Structure 1
Amino acid sequence: MASEEEAISTFVNNRNQKLRRWCLPEATSPKALCVFVHGVGDHILAYKPVAQVLWEKHNIASCGFDQVGHGKSEGARVDIMDFQHYVDDLIQYIHMVKSENPHITIFAVGHSMGGLVLGHALLREADLVDGAVMYAAAIHANPEVFTPFKVTMAKMLSYVFPSFPVGGIGDEALTRNKEELERLRTDPLRRQGKLKARWGHHTINALVDFNSKMSQITVPVYIAHGGEDLVCHIDGSTKFRDTISSTDKTYKVYDKGYHRLHSEPDGLGEEFIEDMAQWMCSHIKSGQ
């Protein structure tokens, strides 16, 4: 297995920004490949523990990249001129991965904001991947986080003071796992602090736009949400299940689960990862 350092490289997006990409491991014969799409303020290595389980228990390789303005990628920190830039980069990356692995089943896993990015990518290219996992996806804004006042302020400030902090998410709402909370708070690659006005404005617009179009999605999909997620409202996942045109869709609510399902304690994180892996295994292309 390649070391973490050996497996890290970069690619240049269509806006000439260098983005950090990562793979675990550089396997020669995995039975499937999973592309992780991380959430706001996060970075791709935060999903390494999940990737290790997928590889060691199921022979599924994983890869991904730090989205622009995140982790070790270039770009203003957690800021965006257009939400579709996230989508552009993901589509470019997946095409690159598919060209490097032409005969393998490709899945994409979108967590939180990463789910919204993945959703928009699937609107643009229905057959971008062979299957998608959307968990704790940012499809419906929590009204307690995105209050009407904050939404209005973000819109106004995005033009005159785009970096103005308009709100954030308390770490305690992310997971019940105390060790994971400590890791998040001390992770030098993770965005600490409040979100910016321009990011908030463009993300809310992208969310509204996605809700009006998500019926167009036809890819097989596994939808998961924590029953006590206070960051991304569970109503978004329920609506997604009921609205998309996919005939192959699975939906599961993990009772007591917070936002970072993959790291939840008391066996819940392990249950989610195993469920996701089993779903992937059942959707690997025949004859591969």
Structure 2
Amino acid sequence: MPEPEDPRRTPQGVSYADLKHFVNADGQHLFCRYWEPEAPPRALVFVAHGAGEHSGPYDEIGQTLKEQSLLVFAHDHVGHGQSEGDRMNIKDFQVFVRDSLQHIDLMKGRHPDLPIFIIGHSMGGAISILTACARPSDFAGVALIAPMVRMNPESATPFKVFLAKVANHIVPSLTLGLIKSKWISRDQTQVEAYDTDELIYHGGVRVSFAMQMIGASERIERVIPAITWPFLLLHGDVDKLCDIGGSQMMFDKAPSTDKKIKVYDGAYHALHHELPETAASVLKEVTGWISERLPASPSQGS
């Protein structure tokens, strides 16, 4: 008799048996993407996407790094995209970090001798920072695109945080405002793509999720004085979703001797989906920064 097909399906109704995925420690199926170079890879690059989105919008980054002989991989976080889990609802932010380390370990097992880099955007930046801090000697560098180091100061005033904590005890499922797509990018085409992407969560952010984000930013602030791994920070100075002051604080306070920050004047949140000139610069910065930290290839060494 043929073996029964795994009944687990994505929120969109596709069988996980037909998709690349791994199963996390809670038994949830997480959808994966891989950009594998034709030549033997020179390094591994893990990409962590932001809140409410998924790994698909990182295809251009993945394809560009793949052409540099880098093996790029990503997954949709729990409760996001084509992965299982209640939409944008998490029992503990650490689950995102735990799952990222699991995926990194899976790839490290297949390519044990390659250096590992992380690229993280927005909430994915917070995940990246905490992932690298969990194993500081494991990573060759972390590139952060508008990372969530600090919450948007308008939405995280002491009084609003106090109200959120009270609401979290009474009605954790209460929804706050939406993520406003107009603050994603100055490029209207990118805003429209965000609005029409059915894999992106377009609902309200729950109080319980907001509390997990606040807790993560507080954790990051505590660990910054211990960061010694190399990092690149890119941030737009008109970012209304993640406070640029958090990136500046990380740059100023982290004792790492290999660190760089670049501020894009007038740019919004999703720098890699900004106006073409900015997006091209971000792609060049990230690929160049990683390339400079790769071990010499055999042809370069000879």
TM-score bracket, normalised by the shorter chain, equals: over 0.9
Calculate the aligned-residue CA RMSD, in Å.
2.0
Residue from 19, 22, 39 that aligns with 2:30 = 19
**Aligned positions of 1:254-273 closer than 5 A:** 254-273=264-283
CA contact (8 A) 1:153 1:166 kept: no
Question: Which amino acid in structure 2 is aligned with residue 40 of structure 1?
Answer: A
CA contact (8 A) 2:37 2:66 kept: no
1:165 Cα deviation after fit: 0.6
1:160 Cα deviation after fit: 3.0
CA contact (8 A) 1:7 1:22 kept: no
**Deviation string, structure 1 residues 55-83 (Cα, Å, up to 9, x no partner):** 23x23331110011101111111011111
Corresponding residue for residue 133 of structure 1: 143
CA contact (8 A) 1:35 1:63 kept: yes
Q: Which of structures 1 and 2 has the bigger CA Rg?
A: 2
Stretches of structure 1 lacking an aligned partner (at least 5 in a row): none
| Separation in 1, partners of 2:276, 2:18 | 31
Question: Which amino acid in structure 2 is aligned with residue 252 of structure 1?
Answer: K
Residue from 107, 118, 132 that aligns with 1:97 = 107
1:52 Cα deviation after fit: 1.5
- Point out the more displaced range, 155-164 or 109-118: 155-164
Question: Which amino acid in structure 2 is aligned with residue 219 of structure 1?
Answer: W
Corresponding residue for residue 88 of structure 2: 78
| Separation in 2, partners of 1:213, 1:168 | 29
CA contact (8 A) 1:107 1:131 kept: yes
TM-score (norm 1): 0.92
2:59 aligned with 1:48: yes
Q: Which runs of 4+ in 1 moved over 4 A?
A: 5-8
Residue from 65, 71, 77 that aligns with 1:67 = 77
Corresponding residue for residue 47 of structure 2: 36
**Deviation string, structure 1 residues 255-284 (Cα, Å, up to 9, x no partner):** 222110101114110011111101100001
CA contact (8 A) 2:53 2:80 kept: yes
| Separation in 2, partners of 1:27, 1:195 | 41
Residue from 185, 204, 222 that aligns with 1:212 = 222
1:153 Cα deviation after fit: 3.0
| Separation in 2, partners of 1:229, 1:163 | 27
Number of residue pairs matched?
283
| Separation in 2, partners of 1:68, 1:162 | 18
| Aligned-residue identity in percent | 33
Stretches of structure 2 lacking an aligned partner (at least 5 in a row): 1-15
CA contact (8 A) 1:153 1:197 kept: no
